[in-house]
Each structure stands twice: as structure tokens, then as C-alpha cells.
Chain A
Amino acid sequence: MKRILLVGNPNVGKSVIFTKLTGVNVCASNYPGTTVEFCRGSSIIGSEEVEIIDVPGAYSLEPTNKAEEVAIEMLSEGDVIINVVDATNLERNLFLTTQLLERDTPLVVALNIWDETKHRGIEIDVKRLSELLGVPVIPTNARSGFGLDHLVRALKHATTPMIEPLTVDERWQRIGKIISSVQRIRHHHHTFLEGLEDASIHPVSGYIVAALVIAVTFAIIRLIGESLIGYILDPFFEKAYMPLLLRVSDYLVGHPLLHDVLVGKLVEGTINFKESFGLLSTGLYVPIGMVLPYVVAFYFMLGLLEDIGYLPRLAVLLDGFMHRLGLHGYSIIPSLLGLGCNVPALLATRVLESRRERFIVATLISIAVPCAALQAMIVGLLAPFGMRYVALVYAVLFLVWLGLGLIIRLFTRGFIPALLIEIPPYRQPYLRSLLMKFRIRALGFLKEAVPVVIVGVGVVNVFYALGILDHIARFTSPIITKLLGLPREAVIAVVIGFLRKDIGVGMLAPLNMTLRQLVVGCATLAMFFPCIATFVVMFKELGPINTAKSIGIMVLTAFVVGGLLNALLWF
């Protein structure tokens, strides 16, 4: 089967062309030996079935990061290359194009985002460009589908001039000559969007925009999450699932042990999804009924901000601040991801260059960035007493994140790598690629979380039945009761925190704790030990020694801060 590669800089609409050209596709498969993701799909061109691969975005064929290394390796496996080029930023894009022209794989150039050139006052002589490059050049507008049929027809004219390799200086000279003979830029009035682009990176208004964007994003996440719960999930669990489960409960009445494991304990004569703690009650309700809605909302909004092109601006705005923590601005992106789930967040630290930086970011994420699941549980537990107590826990976590960052920075050696990041123009997101990315992330969460939660609930039940928990409780009770001021039974929650922090926090609910104990418990559990999935990823990413260090910092921080909170809280 013929293999077509989509190659181009990041943010040039490659994935939109990919979704338009392919029918069935598999995405987010990792390139062997790496976590660099790419998409693969198939399509019929003429009467021939072809495979289409969306190669990770690269600025250059001299690799400067992992994704570019993968991109270059994939190049030799293709029969034809579609080089997707951003027509509004032709000069920079031609750097990669001229490198492709040196190779032996035939190519065509898709001059994408063509309609935007008019708004930005750019005129490009396509025919002349094609002559100068020596390959077909097709203007396209992937989102509307303009030019794609033409692009597909041009594939059989794909060719390569195999020009002599150039040095960097020669390459830019050559590009300069091409640009001056094919591109003309008219003076044009700034569009509203361009005004917004400038305002969101301006030293003053940039921070106002950032605060607004973050506030609106979280408001929308809450709105989506609460609506999903209120209108869909709670009615489903209460009206459809509850009667079914009650029947299972009746049926198991003669088998108390099985009843406790599957359905859980009855609270006031009926099933309580949050407190019963059976595999089929709490084990399903927590991941699907409480956590999934917020995860879904979070990933949707994150994908939206990504596709609009806002995130690089946030990274740039925060660069100065993040330097104080020994990090650079880009590390805010894995940290934000951590608010959804810590696992992809730790994987995302791979884009950071220095080992020290990865250690700091990973440690800070697993201690002080609560995942959506954990947040849902904290809000569920504390919100009835007033949102200010939820805010208190968030404030404690934020201060820990800051303080710990400063401390770890002082005690680790290494350099802060320099920031170099493209500020892309804002683009209207393309719904189909947005939904595809969203589906991958949401499914990833379900596959990851549901089994672990169910196993976690199962383990608790077994431990409970065997009396192991009582042993652990007796053994650790000085720390829990004296230092943290929590009831002895809270040990169980802490132990479960090793598996999943959200369930750990959830287990505090039936203990009839005071408000102060709840705040201490939530904050301590949030910081204490990563959940099992995060732990596994951390181990793989950081290695045994750094993982041990990181966990040491975690446990110490959790008990010190928990103890301080217990001593200082006034209520």
C-alpha cells in the first residue's frame, strides 16, 4: 500500500487536512520507543487504497527535540510527501520545505490557510512559487475543503528536484530570494483578531486577558460538569441504575460478604452511591458519575484553548515568574494538564529539556496539582460548608506549589533551559479535529480510571474483611491522630490514597469528621503519595532514585503541611 506523509511545521492545519482526507483512522498511537503521538489513517485515491500518516510537526530536519527526531525517522518510510505550509507565514515554513527538496521522496506543497492571506494583506504568486521550488504548489483551505480535490489530483505529479544541501545561511538567503519574488504584503488595517493577538501578549493587558481566560475557562468547566451531573448522570444513576442495583441487593441478601463487596453497606436502609463502597455502587459511581463529567469538560476546554492558539501566550507571559521556580514558561502546560489527570501531565513533561526541570515539574504536579477526580471529591466534601473552605484547600495547595518550587530549586543543580516558542496567530478551531482529540483523551481517562477505581474499592473491601486495615490503623495512629488530629479510622483513607487519592478523600465522608478535620484531611491526602497510575508513570519517567526523592519530598510535605494546618486552623 502506498504511504502518504503529511509533513509540516506545528500549527499549520496538518491534522485538519488529515481528518478531511481519511475516513477511518487510528490516532494517538505512539511511535515505537517514544511517547510522540501521531495519527494514521487510510483513504481511497483514484482506485487505489493509500495509507496517510500525520507526521508530528517539525520546524526543521535537524532535530532539536524528540518529536522532530520521530518526524525525520518517519520520512524515510513514505512514498509521497504532502508538505503542508502556512501561507500566512511562508518564509518560516519554507525552511522545512527547502530541506525536503534535498531528499529523494517526491512531494507536493499544500499552501494551506489560503483564505487568511487576504485578511492579512498577503499576496502570493503560486505559479512562480511552484517554478522556483520545482514541485507542485496547491493553495488549500483545509477547514472549508477548498483545494483538497486539487491537492489529491496533484499527488501523481509529485516530484523532487533533489537540490544540493545548503548551509543555514545559504538556506535563508535562498528563501529570501524566493519570498521577494513571490510574496507581496499590502499595508492593511489591523483586524480585530490581530488586535486581540497583540493584547493577549502585551506586558500589561496580557495578564488581564490571562486572568479572564482562566476564570472563564474554569467557570465553563464547572457549568459543563454540573450540567452533565444534574441533567444526565444523577438522573441516570438514581432513576435507572438504582432500582437495578436494589434488586441485586435483595437477591444477595443471603450472602452478606458478596453483598458487601458488590453492592456495599446499606446506609439508612438503602444504597448510598458515595458511601456504600461496593464495586457496583461506589466503584462505578465515583469515576463515571462524579469525575468523568469534569474530566470531559476539562479536556474539551483545554483542546479549545490549544486549537485557538492561546496556550503558547500563557507560557510566554508566565516565563519570568516560572524562572523563580527554576522552570521556564512552557512547564505551565504540563501543570495545567495535571488539573485534568496527573498521568498525561507527567508524560507531557517530556517536552521539557533538562532533567532537573522535569524532576521539579513532575514532583510539583504530583504534590500540589489536584486532578479533576480529586477536585470533584474535595468540592463534594467541603462545598456544603461553604465555598471558602474549598478555596482554602486550593490556596494551601497553591502555596505549597510555590514554596516547594523555590525550595527544590535551591537544592537541585542544573540550568534553566531557554524559552523559544512560536506565537501562532489565533485560529478558529476546527470542530472535527477538536472532537477527535477530545475523544482520545476522554476514552484514555475511562480506560485508565475505571479499572483502577474498581480494583481500589475491591482491595479496600478485602482488607476490611481480613482485618488488615485495623492493624495498619493501630500502627500508624500516632501520626494520624496526634499530628493531623484526624480520627483513627482515617488511616484507611490514607492507605487507599496510595491507590487513588480521590477515593481516599471520598472515604473521609462517612467518618463524621469536624470541618477542621475535613480540611486537614483533604489537603493532606491531596499532597500525600501519587495515585498508583501516576506512581507507575513517574517511576518510568524519572527512574528509581528520583522517584524515591520525589516521594520522600511528598510524604514529608504532606505531614508537615498537614500538621501545620491542624495546629493553625482557627475553626
Chain B
Amino acid sequence: MDSKPSAERPQRPPAPVKIVIAGGFGVGKTTAVASISEISPLTTEAAITSVGAEIDRVGEVPAKTTTTVAMDFGCITIDEEVKLYLFGTPGQDRFGFMWGDLVRGALGALVIVDTRRMDDCYPAVDYFEKAGLPFVVGVNMFGGELAHEPDDIRWALAIADEVPLIMFDAREKLSVRDALLAVLRNTFAKARAAAS
């Protein structure tokens, strides 16, 4: 079937990898994706499963509801064979972060924190801990202001010492790049420790 030569077509598609970017509403997820993505962030509708009754009604079967949410994403070409996707997850709902689909196969996650609303990132931290996905907490500095010391933030979020905590600016491309590198180095260290 060589009747239609297509000179530019690669032999096969690139291998996709992904990093999940989570955090509360308005914390800078889409901004971070936009700062570094090669394409303008795209939005798609996706379903998340909420387990709303789990905590309020102990002992009963939790009622699961499926909610449709908007998810933003972008991508970065790593090399000719590898493409990195960044998925900004809607994680603002206390019980809504039940999205195994998104986490399955991820290289790691960046949980973005706004120090003015630290509670908002609890569901994501909690979820990644349970899912066993390596994650890094990134405090979005919104222009250099930092109302709390890193140790105070760590304490307030009750995150383990081995979870890296970094400061970054979601509006700056290189700052976002460094945050993603922190995610990857954390995953790498964990994978190497597990392999030895």
C-alpha cells in the first residue's frame, strides 16, 4: 500500500507519558500548564466519581455519583519518541478526587498549594498518598510573596518529611519546568530505592 506516500509521517506514534497537576480551585493549575505547554491548554469534559456519603454515613454503602468536570491539559515534546502530557485535575471537591484513570500510569504529581487556602489541597495530598503516586508539593508564590515559612507549610499540610516541598511561580515557564523536574527526580529516587 505505497500508493499514498506521506513523507512526514513517523513510523509510529511517540510514547506518551504524563504528570498530574492537582490542587484546589484557582490555585494556578491552568496557569502552570499554560506557562510551559507547547499548545494552548485544551479543555475537555471528563467524569469523576464522587463518594459523597462515605464519611457522613458510616456503615452504609456510599452513594457514588458521577460528576462531569472540565479538565485542562497541555503537552511538551521531550524528544522524537516521547511526549509529556500535563493534566490539570479538578481537585477542589473534598470527596471528588477519585480519579484512578488519571493517576494510572502517571510519572508523578505536582500538588499546587496557595498558602492563603491551604485546605484546598488536602484531597489531592490524601489521594496521592493512598494511590501510592509519588508527588511533590509546590507552593505557588504568586509573585514572590510567601506568607509562611516552608516548615510551617509542611506542618500545616501534615505532609511527610520525604515529600519534597518546593516554591515556584506558576506564571514562569522555567519555574514550572523546575517544579516538574522536582516531580520527576522524586519519582526517580523512589523508583531507584524500590529497585535496589
Q: Bound pair: A and B?
A: no
